[in-house]
Structure 1
Amino acid sequence: MARYLDIHPVDPQPRLINQVAETLAVGGVIAYPTDSGYALGCSLANKDGLDRIRQIRQLNKRHHFTLVCSDFAQLGPLVIVDNPAFRMIKQLTPGPFTFILKGTKQVPRMTLNPKKHTVGARIPDHKITQAIVQAHGAPLLSSTLIPPGEEEPMSEGWEIQDRYGHLLDVVVEGPVTLPEPTTVVDLTSGEAEIRRQGAGQL
């Protein structure tokens, strides 16, 4: 059963944040709150973790996983962006947006869309998420926790613990800013195309 960690939303406790980072470092899968619902996450090169997230959400191979980063400096080496895309990302982040971008060679192939070689990218505006990513020292490989057959992400840690605790290593309890999925913006064609309208407003 997953460890259930109640983390302060304004001043996250370093001891608890480090426990989450240690779980990620040894191959664990976590559920954590963001500014747009809960998400599942693991370390970037964690194939077993990727497969576990796919199993929980019942995802196919074409699903865009997301690189959750603390800032653009962490994201920049992992994706290919032109100047207009860079300006848009800088303007809209941190915030409830996921950007679809071409991945660089630093992104494991198993993480990329198999045909388009693209990946999601996200810089959330959430203190707990930021603290976890910074303590981990690298982006999280992540996917919004939307249960199969549903449209909205889960937003209560205790409910996730009851429903999925046996499949996870850590569930982080904390508030979400908005119980809506992110707005997904595809930047791979040279123009911004909204693939899903969610919490973020362009």
Structure 2
Amino acid sequence: MNTQRLGTSEQDILFAGKLLSQGEVVAFPTETVYGLGAVATDEVAVRKVFTAKGRPSDNPLIVTVADKAMVQQFAVENDMSQKLMAAFWPGSLTIILPMRAQAFSMTVTGGLNTVAFRLPDNEVARAVIRAAKAPIVGPSANTSGKPSPTTAQHVWHDMAGKIAAIVDDGPTTVGVESTVIDVSGNVPTILRPGAITQEQLVAVLAQPVHDATTTESVASDVTPKAPGMKYRHYAPDKHVVMFDELDAVDLAQKLQDNDVVMAQDRILQAMAIKSQQAWSLGDSLESATEQLFSGLRFYDDQPKVGTIYVQKMIPVGLGKAYNNRLAKAAGNQEFSI
């Protein structure tokens, strides 16, 4: 298949929508990571997404919409979802709701009676969906299990020849996938951390919000309610190890010539390592989160790189999302003195 690279002109967006409406798969930008789009009500097209990604069939897909009205056609809303949509949409929050009878196929939901929705804070993404005239599935546009794509070039690396087109809107701004909250039951529950934090969700809902991301796992015979809960995710082929900033100087003494370090600028300066061994995560938690997947992807493509050491962040707010993705990439391996 000849994968076309599209821009963000009106003509390109309309063409991307046309391809989607014809049953093709098109990668599209969001503020979090690039997504892999197919019309959510087209069973054949959705299966193409699983094939392109190499994604397990029981891993449910997020449905991406252009406006709140699209959700009402397919799911049963409630007071909690309405409050969350009013506060955080468009934005990097995915909301799981009870699905209306046979609204989507089992391929989309993984056989569950719930479905996850997101309204992205990216006008190009919303324009593509409007051009397709239907909601689209939107898993990350990468080979399943690998670091998520934050640029169109990352998508090209994984998907060239597998999908019809890629809409290039430049680098994403958040850098990690959306927060996923399940409000299909009585207790709102975070299933994946992201830029929208537990504290923000509690403030809007005015009730406790359970965080299942640090205490619960999904058994091998159970379908996960959200992506990233059950299978290996975000991991390059290279060996990745997390480290605490308090151990940075000790780590610097033990680095091999082919090892590399991803850390904030002040940490890299304190470690005094060679510039060719360093990837800057900037000077803020936001910049670190934005750069995490890019750095992992870059070093994964360098044949001579040995181990990738990556700085952990304080596990508060966005730091929870950052550490969640890093821990999965590293298989929970940490540097110890």
Q: String of CA shifts for 1:89-121, please: whole Å, max 9, x gaps.
A: 22111100111111113622232231x311110
Aligned to 1:18: 14
Unaligned runs of at least 5 residues, structure 1: 8-12
TM-score by length of structure 1 reads 0.89
Which amino acid is the alignment partner of residue 143 of structure 2?
A: P
Q: Secondary structure of 1:78's partner?
A: coil
Unaligned runs of at least 5 residues, structure 2: 201-337
Q: % of aligned pairs identical?
A: 20
From 31, 53, 56, the counterpart of 1:57: 53
Contact kept? 2:80, 2:183, Cα under 8 Å: no
Which amino acid is the alignment partner of residue 83 of structure 1?
A: D
From 135, 155, 169, the counterpart of 1:174: 169
From 157, 173, 187, the counterpart of 1:162: 157
From 74, 78, 89, the counterpart of 1:78: 74
Q: Secondary structure of 2:139's partner?
A: strand
Contact kept? 1:5, 1:170, Cα under 8 Å: yes
Bigger share in strand: 1
| Alignment size in residue pairs | 195
Aligned to 1:10: none
From 176, 186, 198, the counterpart of 2:194: 198
Aligned to 2:297: none
CA RMSD of aligned residues (A): 1.6
Distance in 1 of aligned mates of 2:57 and 2:144: 15
Structure 1 segments, 4+ long, off by >3 Å, are none
Aligned to 1:67: 63
Matched, 1:32 2:28: yes
Contact kept? 1:183, 1:200, Cα under 8 Å: yes
Contact kept? 1:94, 1:124, Cα under 8 Å: yes
Contact kept? 1:113, 1:119, Cα under 8 Å: no
Mark the structure with the bigger radius of gyration: 2
Aligned to 1:112: 109
Aligned to 2:119: 123
Q: String of CA shifts for 1:126-177, please: whole Å, max 9, x gaps.
A: 0110111112222112212343333x42011123223311000011111322
Distance in 2 of aligned mates of 1:194 and 1:74: 23
From 90, 99, 103, the counterpart of 1:103: 99
TM-score by length of structure 2 reads 0.55
Which 10-residue stretch deviates more, 156-165 or 18-27?
156-165
